[in-house]
Structure 1
Amino acid sequence: MRQSDHRPSAAALAQAALRRERPSRTDLLSVLSWPDAELLELVAAVGRVRRRFFGDRVKLNYLVNLKSGLCPEDCTYCSQRLGSDADIVSYSWLGTEETRRAAASGVEGGASRVCLVASGRGPTDRDIDRLTPAIARIKEEHPGVDVCACLGLLSSGQPERLRDAGVDAYNHNLNTSGERYADICSTHGFADRVATVQRAAQAGLSPCSGLIAGMGEGDDDLVDALEELRELDPDSVPVNFLIPFDGTPLAGHWELTPQRCLRVLAAARLVFPDVEVRLAGGREIHLRSLQPLALHLANSIFLGDYLTSEGGPGAADLETVRDAGFRVQGADEPSLPAHRLDLVRPRRRGAGTDRPPNA
């Protein structure tokens, strides 16, 4: 396809993002259908946006799986779902010392954010109580390191309890567009997810919400999801690529290519020019040898393993960062640009806490 009036230039898209202008739906659809032969041009142009707001920094995040399997929800993409036959290890809550040790190994590897994740519909107040000592130990031993919780749907008052326990951020992904959410889950709705992200933000937790690509969605669905995420104004946006686990309804659903993944990341960066875009689950198996190119679009990655699947060795992740010409972000460095922190801090204080965020 020749450059024509049907498609904006990569340079024009990047210039608009540098001005933090919202891309049009037509622009995003153009990015998602960008020709493979011209993909390097798109990555180079959008990479300027990533460099402008995040320099040469790559934030490392480390995931601690607090509770695995036995989930009552039926999300079709998840190996822990109700009725899953996936070959995974199931266990109840890790103890305080186990959680502390796991977090420490991630921080020693260079992570500046520890993500505490538990399967289930959502936490009980007792669950939050049992997690509180571990959060305190992590914060005591690793000053400056963020703690992000991902525990499912939150009820009234729970975000405030997590905040008071020392949690800095809360992750709850929208995963797909509202219009097709019922295609991937029947035990809760899209509005439930939106409400949880909003509750977390209102309580002063840094909101983290993203999507999963490769679940059979079309370009319009991806654009819808990105635009709905933007309405939530998250501080970080994880972009996951479906791992089609055996034993789940999406088993064998291999539709992504490395080039498709790069286009999805480019679209996410254009929608979120000054927000942390995280290269998350599935990057190793779908991007393969193009992972270094993806770092020119995303400024954050998970280090090591995920929930029920193995990632690459931590040393290999660090090597990829260096080989791509980037460096690991220190725990004392802010994750967001100064102008965005100026907007975030008052919002956090207005939520009822004077504790400045480790954004």
Structure 2
Amino acid sequence: MGTFWIERAKEIQQGKHLTWEEAAAFLKEPRELLLEQLEAAYLLRSHYYQNQVKLNMIVNTKSGLCSENCGYCAQSVDSKAVISKYRMMPSKDIVQGAREAEKRGAGTYCIVASGRGPSEKELRTVEEAVGEIKATSQLKVCACLGILKEGQGERLKAAGVDRYNHNVNSSERFHDNIVTTHTYGDRTETVNGAIQAGMSPCSGLIAGMGESDEDIIDVLYALKEIGADSIPVNFLHAIEGTAFEHQPGLRPEECLRILALARMILPSKEIRAAGGREENLKSMQPLALYAVNSIFLGDYLTTPGQAWKKDLQMIEDAGFEIEENAFTQSAEMFSG
């Protein structure tokens, strides 16, 4: 077995960069080199994050009722999927979700709402909830409310939001195959607006929507250029009733190779195995921890995740550790 990728990881650790051509070769390597690729990714992951795993929890504060036609999403205006639909929950319920995140040992609480962007009433609700959460806990707060209008990012920052998520999802070239009610530029402008407002930018991708290897590579380099601090790598969970319901899904080894490539291109960034992790990686989920340093606990927006205590067990069994600022709470809950 060769050592090319391991040597490249050592060079990347010293400040060099993976080229686009090398990234293309990385995704086409044979199966027998997968463990070497994961070892290369781990060299970088461990350099920046040791063996720690950051824990995040999502609350879906508004479900369905969306004007956008994203083909992957059960909340899309065109979706026929059977899901719960409700308007923005009151701030006290958002705060209660934060208490659950603390109980599970999560360090970051992600407030997510469907729709093109937040209304004035929805924004005020989030501001109120975040103020209470920040005053009464040590949680980091990430908001994901869609496309922001002028001034909204600054208001969220003032309320205490630490990070704003808006995924670019795929390459600019492939974007119109996913959604036509907004543009790729709408997405990148929102990420840039979050940066200008002083929030940490979180932006990622969805793999398995029918895109090419070139699209995967392009979106990873786009995220590098944008300056995303946190990169959630989602894998399509093909939901019945959505436009992408018949997409075949990715093999676990393909998912692992994409995660390893993300680490090689974005060595120092928080990379998260996000939505679709359980559905696509299956029993090979623990191997993802060699490339990523972050996961979601529990359910996603409209799909179930792995039971959160099983995630804690997975982390322990694989020899990794929960991020220090959340370790004590999480360990207590797990032992109980």
TM-score by length of 2: 0.95
Opposite residue 133 of structure 1, the aligned amino acid is E
Gaps of 5+ in 2: 328-336
Opposite residue 211 of structure 1, the aligned amino acid is L
SS in 2 for 1:120: coil
**Whole-Å separation in 1 of the counterparts to 2:161 and 2:176:** 31
RMSD, aligned CA: 1.4
Structure 2 residue 109 is matched with structure 1 residue 114: yes
Opposite residue 39 of structure 1, the aligned amino acid is L
Q: How far has the Cα of 1:332 moved from its partner?
A: 7.4
1:278-293 matches, within 5 Å, as: 278-293=272-287
| Range that drifts further, 87-96 or 293-302 | 87-96
Tell me if the contact between 1:59 and 1:111 (Cα under 8 Å) persists in the aligned partners: yes
Structure 2 residue 145 is matched with structure 1 residue 151: yes
Tell me if the contact between 1:31 and 1:266 (Cα under 8 Å) persists in the aligned partners: no
Opposite residue 153 of structure 1, the aligned amino acid is I
Structure 1 residue runs of 4 or more that deviate by more than 4 Å after TM superposition: none
Map of 2:259 onto structure 1 = 265
Tell me if the contact between 1:70 and 1:90 (Cα under 8 Å) persists in the aligned partners: yes
Map of 1:62 onto structure 2 = 57
Q: How far has the Cα of 1:18 moved from its partner?
A: 1.0
Tell me if the contact between 2:205 and 2:232 (Cα under 8 Å) persists in the aligned partners: yes
Q: Deviations over 1:208-248 (max 9, x none)?
A: 00000000011111111111111111110000000111101
1:27-38 matches, within 5 Å, as: 27-38=22-33
**Whole-Å separation in 1 of the counterparts to 2:40 and 2:262:** 14
Q: Tell me how many residue pairs correspond in the alignment.
A: 327
Q: Deviations over 1:283-324 (max 9, x none)?
A: 011111111110010000000000000000010000011111
SS in 1 for 2:54: strand
**Whole-Å separation in 2 of the counterparts to 1:125 and 1:18:** 45
| Range that drifts further, 261-270 or 15-24 | 15-24
Q: How far has the Cα of 1:25 moved from its partner?
A: 0.7
Q: How far has the Cα of 1:166 moved from its partner?
A: 0.8
**Whole-Å separation in 1 of the counterparts to 2:120 and 2:160:** 15
Tell me if the contact between 2:263 and 2:271 (Cα under 8 Å) persists in the aligned partners: yes
Distance 1:66 1:15, change over 3 A: same
Distance 1:280 1:20, change over 3 A: farther
Tell me if the contact between 1:62 and 1:107 (Cα under 8 Å) persists in the aligned partners: no
Of residues 312, 318, 325, the one that matches 1:324 is 318
**Whole-Å separation in 2 of the counterparts to 1:152 and 1:19:** 37
Tell me if the contact between 2:62 and 2:88 (Cα under 8 Å) persists in the aligned partners: yes
SS in 2 for 1:201: helix
1:132-147 matches, within 5 Å, as: 132-143=127-138, 145-147=139-141
Tell me if the contact between 1:34 and 1:263 (Cα under 8 Å) persists in the aligned partners: no
Map of 1:179 onto structure 2 = 173
Tell me if the contact between 1:20 and 1:273 (Cα under 8 Å) persists in the aligned partners: no
Structure 2 residue 74 is matched with structure 1 residue 79: yes
Q: How far has the Cα of 1:133 moved from its partner?
A: 1.6
SS in 2 for 1:47: helix
Q: How far has the Cα of 1:125 moved from its partner?
A: 2.6
Q: How far has the Cα of 1:325 moved from its partner?
A: 0.8
Q: Deviations over 1:65-122 (max 9, x none)?
A: 0000011000111110012100111011111221111121111101000000000000
SS in 1 for 2:325: coil
Distance 1:281 1:254, change over 3 A: same
Structure 2 residue 155 is matched with structure 1 residue 161: yes
**Whole-Å separation in 1 of the counterparts to 2:287 and 2:304:** 21
Q: How far has the Cα of 1:16 moved from its partner?
A: 2.5
Distance 1:266 1:95, change over 3 A: same
**Whole-Å separation in 2 of the counterparts to 1:111 and 1:255:** 29
Tell me if the contact between 2:249 and 2:280 (Cα under 8 Å) persists in the aligned partners: no
**Whole-Å separation in 2 of the counterparts to 1:196 and 1:124:** 16
Tell me if the contact between 1:16 and 1:23 (Cα under 8 Å) persists in the aligned partners: no
Map of 1:350 onto structure 2 = none
Tell me if the contact between 2:64 and 2:114 (Cα under 8 Å) persists in the aligned partners: yes
Map of 1:221 onto structure 2 = 215
Q: How far has the Cα of 1:41 moved from its partner?
A: 1.4
SS in 1 for 2:324: coil
Tell me if the contact between 2:115 and 2:146 (Cα under 8 Å) persists in the aligned partners: yes
